[in-house]
Amino acid sequence: MALIKKLPTDPNINFMGKRKLFMAFSVLMIALSLVLVATRGLNFGVDFRGGILIEIRTSEPADLSSLRSRIGSLGLGEISLQEFGAPTDVLINIQKQDGDEKEQMKAIQLVKDELGSAVEEYRRVEFVGPKVGAELKEDGALATLFALLGIAFYIWFRFEWQFSVAALMALTHDIITTIGFFALTQYEFNLATLAAVLTIAGYSINDTVVIFDRVRDELRRYKKMEVIDVLNMSINRTLSRTILTSVTTLLALIALFVFGGEVIRGLSLGLIWGVTIGTYSSVGLAVPLLFATNVRPSIPEEEEEGLVDENGQKIELVQENDKAS
Amino acid sequence: MVQFSKWQIFAVIGVLVLGIFYAMPNLFKEQTLETFPDWVASDQINLGLDLQGGSYLLLEVDLEAVEEEQLTNLVEGIRVNLRTDRIGYQNLRVEGKAATFTLRDASEEMVSRVRQMIFENNPGLLISTDGAKVISEYSDLVLRERRIAVINQSIEVLRKRLDETGTKEISLQRQGESRILIQVPGVKDPDEIKRLIGKTAKLTFHLVDQNADPYSGKAPVGSQIMLSQETQASGQPQRYVIKKRVMVSGENLIDAQSTFQDAQPVISFTFDTTGAQRFARVTQENVNRPFAIVLDGKVISAPVIRSPILTGNGIISGNFTPQSAEELAVLLRAGALPAPLDILEERTVGAGLGEDSVNAGKVASIIGLVLVLIFMGSSYGLFGIMANFALVANLILIVAVLSLFQATLTLPGIAGIVLTIGMAVDANVLIFERIREEIRNGRGPVMAVDAGYKRAIATILDSNITTLIAAVLLFQFGTGPIKGFAVTLTIGIITSMFTAIMFTRLLIVTWLRRRRPQSLGI
């Protein structure tokens, strides 16, 4: 019993007809993301902004307001406290202290002295000095840039330049909107989140390449067909795969989001968002962009093997019949 | 694609057996593993500090302080040389990165003699002259070598301090030009580590200038005012006037132990021969005078010498707790750091949080896996079940590779594995969808499988290689969590390609041969 048989075998949804709508939606999403990042900004974790993060477990449910006022009275500047996964767990964020690294160390000690016996366990103490914070930011940006360029280069090498451009633009869209998502939700943006953003790039490109591969194949086979129809057909023929893979990935990620623990909740949420937006962008953005860059059927370097060729003819006829009906 | 040669079947099964062999140790407790015979693999996955709990500290060696000290020493050295040779000079001082002075006699003969003299005493110096002015500075090469030496020496001292017995799994690495990365698993008191690395631990013994008034504000030439380490009852540290000359220094210590004297924690120490001789002479000549013990520029105590100490053994008393006495003893045994250290970054995870994370990761992985298994099974029926075997095999292989290569698994790494669980079926989905298309085009089961695989493989390779490129670049340029994520993602991509292309194909082909089905059921 395979449920897959219940799916329509030959979907014929006119994705390309709605390309302007997709385009407008994507442009809007990018604009919104940029506005959000500019106005609300990202809630940078200690990794990037420098500063101190302390996660404590108290023996009894924590009284946040009393803890807040006690730590607030230490004069350490901006602090924030939040419950973290359980009523006894509290996450304390303390801003970067003026002065050098030694000042940060003193601040940690001050907090520990103040909290004293109220704390049962220090679950996490993270401190990133101003120097390292700036470096991590730079390294993260570089890693992203190199990953994108590496991907673009490979696609350019394996396909045509149009594919490379379209993929790169779709990827940039995914990354910007994911960052926008973090600006909207104000989930902490740290190194792990950045890793998530980069994985989204990896997932999304995987998705895009599968469709592009099909496009390249079909362009070779249906030289006489309108390019826009070939593109649409390619999306439709890979649609069941696109959906199935997204669903399995999302299932795994939802498990991670629900059961993976508080520390990686932001990361898994980012991944869920990214997989969704990445799937959309492969279909709704990458392929229309391919059309916009005026992709043409290339002359295949080698003729397809016998099987595929004679078969190609057959499918062409079927397709034309479909259109007529 | 439906042909498997004998050796191919052998290779696929071989890889899986090896996978199980290397993944297996993770099912057992460490104690159980020790009872197994030697030929059985025993390496478990190496958990990152965020999962097993521990401290990660990035330190910066204050090389500028070292270089300044070197220059001051150079100036003093030159001063001594010039005086011994009775050469007139003025304005001897540190100027930027160089030691400079002006000769009174600027004759060519004198200048070249002085240059010769300085160079002989300090090889590696670059000496230039500007009229009567002599400028000496260290070459870049020498400076670089010294920096490396200072870092290496710092690492050695730190290792002795943190892991005297050499039994702990402490990792100390040089990072870049001036940094040291310390990773200490399973720490109970991270502050203790910070106390152990925070001190330079330069120990010196000085005579006290009893004629000067410590509260006058100005010390006589050759002396200086120093504060005590502990504050007095008034809340102010005690002030001492200490003679600058170092009588004996910690370099001559060969041992230091914490112990008790009159129920007070103290540190007993032993000097080497040179140190013992010096100590004996000083104590003989200064009976009934106070002798200051100075650590990192602060006076620990200044006991009065009751009688000459000739054995080279002594006791440092002060306001110690048993713990602080023990810590100081460790510091003294390990020796002084060549330069002060700054903590740039600290990440400490308690064992409790680490354990919680591992458990949460396990639960999430299992639930994610079960969800995907159910979904695939119900979507593709028999084919889905075969894909599920491949998925489980994939997980085993990931665990095996992580254990075999002792790659570090971090929390984001677990996220990477869960993501791989979701993505790993992609290759199979691609193949199955292609097979379905071939069936629709009227092919028989065997031909459909053959063509499906043939046509899907290029796509699988392209899409996975692009992801692989991203993962490898992330590993190369990323730091910390990004690296951990990239590791499992990379391994997952490679193993999933193997299981999807080779393992499920073997299953399907075997099924086709045995059953010769009329339809594939998808």
Q: Domain of A119: which CATH number?
A: 3.30.70.2860
Tell how far CA B154 is from the center of its chain: 12
CA torsion through residues B70, B76, B77, B82, sign: positive
Give B304's DSSP letter: B
Which residue in chain A is spatially nearest to B474 when comparing CA positions? A143
ipTM of the complex: 0.84
A240 part of a folded domain: yes
Instruction: Tell whether A178 and A34 lie within a shared domain.
Output: yes
Same domain, A254 and A174: yes
User: Domains in chain B, please, with CATH?
Assistant: 6-53+351-515 (1.20.1640.10), 54-61+162-345 (3.30.1360.200), 63-142 (3.30.1240.20)
| Same domain as A82, residue A192 | no
Number of H helices, E strands in chain A: 12, 6
Q: Nearest-CA distance from A134 to chain B in Å?
A: 12
Q: Judge if A88 and A26 occupy the same domain.
A: no
CA distance B313 to B279: 9
Nearest CA distance, A139 vs chain B (angstrom): 6
Q: What is the mean pLDDT of chain B?
A: 88
pLDDT at A323: 42
Percent of chain A with pLDDT over 90: 37
pLDDT (0 to 100) of residue A314: 42
d(CA A26, CA A177): 9
Task: Name every residue whose Cβ is closer than 8 Å to that of residue B201 and which is 6 or more positions away in sequence.
Answer: B250, B295, B296, B328, B331, B332, B334, B335, B336, B337
Instruction: Judge whether A284 lies within some domain.
Output: yes
Sorting pLDDT into bands at 50, 70 and 90, what band is A303?
Answer: very low
**Is there a contact between B430 and A4 if contact means CB atoms under 8 Å apart?**
no
Residue at B402: amino acid letter: L
User: What CATH number did the domain enclosing A20 receive?
Assistant: 1.20.1640.10
**A284 touches A26 (CB < 8 A):** yes
Averaged in consecutive runs of 10 residues, what is the pLDDT profile of chain B (522 residues)? Answer: 84 94 89 83 86 90 87 86 88 88 87 87 84 87 88 91 80 89 82 83 89 80 84 82 87 90 90 91 91 90 89 87 89 88 89 88 92 93 93 94 90 83 86 91 90 90 86 81 82 91 91 86 78
Beta bridge mates, B175: B179
Of B106, B395, B338, B103, which Cα lies nearest the Cα of B201?
B338
Using a CB-CB distance cutoff of 8 angstroms, which residues of chain B are in contact with residue A259?
A: 360, 363-364, 367
**Minimal CA–CA distance to B399: which of B385, B416, B382?**
B416
Q: Which burial class, exposed, middle or buried, applies to B214 when counting CB atoms under 10 A from its CB (0-12, 13-18, 19+)?
A: middle
Q: What angle do CA B199, B203, B205 make, to 5 degrees?
A: 155
Distance CA B393, CA B401 (A): 12
**CB A196 within 8 Å of CB A143:** no
**Cα B406 to Cα B402: distance, rounded to the nearest angstrom:** 6
> Both A30 and A122 in a single domain?
no
B384/A203 touch (CB, cutoff 8 Å), yes or no: no
Residue A93: Cβ within 10 Å count: 20
Q: Give the DSSP letter of residue B290.
A: B
A142-151, A303-312, B214-223: which is most confident: A142-151
What is the Cα Rg of chain A in Å? 25
* Nearest by Cα to B395 from B487, B505, B491: B491
Q: Please say if the pLDDT value at position A313 is more than 50.
A: no
In a domain, A277, yes or no: yes
Calpha distance B505→B1 (Å, rounded): 8
Residue A322 in domain:
no
> Same structural domain for residues A120 and A91?
yes
Structure tokens at B496: 């999933």
pLDDT of residue A307: 41
| Cross-chain CB nearest to B430 (options A123, A241, A260) | A241
User: Is the per-residue pLDDT at A304 higher than 60?
Assistant: no
Name every chain A residue with its beta carbon within 8 A of the beta carbon of B368: 251-256
Interface test with B, best of A137, A249, A308 (most B CBs within 10 A): A249
What would the two tokens of residue B280 be?
Answer: 């004996």
Domain boundary among A64, A94, A128: A128
Of B312, B331, B351, B341, the closest CA to residue B256 belongs to B331
Structure tokens at B127: 């000496």
**Chain B residues with CB-CB distance to A307 below 8 A:** 451
Backbone angles phi, psi at B3, to 5 degrees: -100, 130
A4 to B522: CB separation less than 8 angstroms, yes or no: yes
Chain B neighbors of A268, CB-CB under 8 A: 415
Q: Is residue A117 part of a domain?
A: yes
Distance from CA of B175 to the nearest CA of A (A): 13
Q: Both A164 and A269 in a single domain?
A: yes
- Tell me what the mean pLDDT of segment A68-95 comes to: 88
Same-domain check for residues A172 and A258: yes
Q: What does the alpha-carbon distance between residue B394 and residue B16 come to, in Å, rounded to a whole number?
A: 9
d(C-alpha B409, C-alpha B361), whole Å:
11
Asked if the Cβ–Cβ distance from A101 to B342 is below 8 Å, we say yes
> Tokens at residue B109, please?
């003969």
Burial class (CB in 10 A: 0-12, 13-18, 19+), A39: exposed
CB distance B415–A194 less than 8 Å?
Answer: no
- Strand bridging mode A43-44 / A188-189: parallel
What are B23's two structure tokens? 């993944």
Same domain, A81 and A226: no
Is residue A10 over pLDDT 80? no
In this structure, how many other beta carbons lie within 10 angstroms of the beta carbon of residue B34? 9
Let me know the angle formed at the C-alpha of B165 by B162 and B170, rounded to the nearest 5 degrees. Answer: 45
Order of all β-strands in the sheet with A51-58? A79-83, A89-94, A51-58, A119-128, B341-349, B54-61, B179-185, B171-175
Average pLDDT of the segment spanning A44-70 = 88
Q: DSSP labels for A242-267?
A: HHHHHHHHHHHHHHHHHHS-STTHHH
Residues of B in contact with A122 (CB under 8 A): 190, 348, 350
User: How many angstroms separate the CA of residue B471 from the nearest CA in chain A?
Assistant: 7
Say if A251 falls within a structural domain.
yes
Beta-carbon contacts of residue A131 (< 8 Å; ≥ 6 apart): A101, B60, B344
- Threshold 0.90, pTM exceeds: no
Chain A residues in contact with B471 (beta carbon < 8 A): 202
B484 HSE (CA, 13 A, CB side):
22
Q: List the structure tokens of B448.
A: 């459909």
- The DSSP secondary structure of B194-238, one letter per residue, reads HHHHH----EEEEEB-TTS-TTSS-PPTTEEEEEEEEE-TTSSEE
- The closest of B377, B389, B365, B371 to B488, measured between CA atoms, is B365
d(CA B392, CA B377): 13
Length of chain B in residues, anyone? Answer: 522
Q: Which residues of B touch A128 (CB under 8 A)?
A: 344-345
Q: How many domains does chain A have?
A: 2
User: Which residues neighbour B156 within 8 Å (Cβ) at sequence distance 6 or greater?
Assistant: none
CB contact under 8 Å between A260 and B414, yes or no, is yes
Is the model's pLDDT at A57 over the cut of 70? yes
Name chain B contacts of A198, Cβ cutoff 8 Å: 470, 474, 478, 482, 485
Residue A278 has pLDDT above 70, yes or no: yes
pLDDT at A171: 92
What's the token pair of residue A240?
Answer: 């069941």
Same domain assignment for residues A27 and A64 = no
Taking the CA of residue B476 and the nearest CA in chain A, the distance in Å comes to: 8
Number of H-type helices and E-type strands within chain B: 15, 19
Task: Specify if A166 maps to a domain.
Answer: yes
Q: What is the dihedral of CA B493, B494, B500, B506, to 10 degrees?
A: -170
In a domain, residue A169? The reply is: yes
Range of the structural domain that residue A179 is part of: 14-41+133-299
pLDDT at residue A298, rounded to an integer: 64
Same domain assignment for residues A26 and A165: yes
CA distance B15 to B57: 39
Total count of residues recorded for chain A? 325
In three-state secondary structure terms, A43 is strand
Is the pLDDT at A193 greater than 50? The verdict is yes
What is the three-class DSSP state of A75? coil
Rounded to 5 degrees, what are φ and ψ at B347? -135, 115
Q: B451: part of which helix (H) or strand (E)?
A: helix B445-477
CA atoms within 13 A on the CB side of A234: 32
pLDDT score, position A299 = 54
Claim to verify: residue A110 and residue A212 sit in the same structural domain:
no
Determine the 3-state secondary structure of B411 from DSSP: helix
C-alpha span between A212 and A206 (Å, rounded): 10
- For residue A209, the chain B residue with the least C-alpha distance is B463
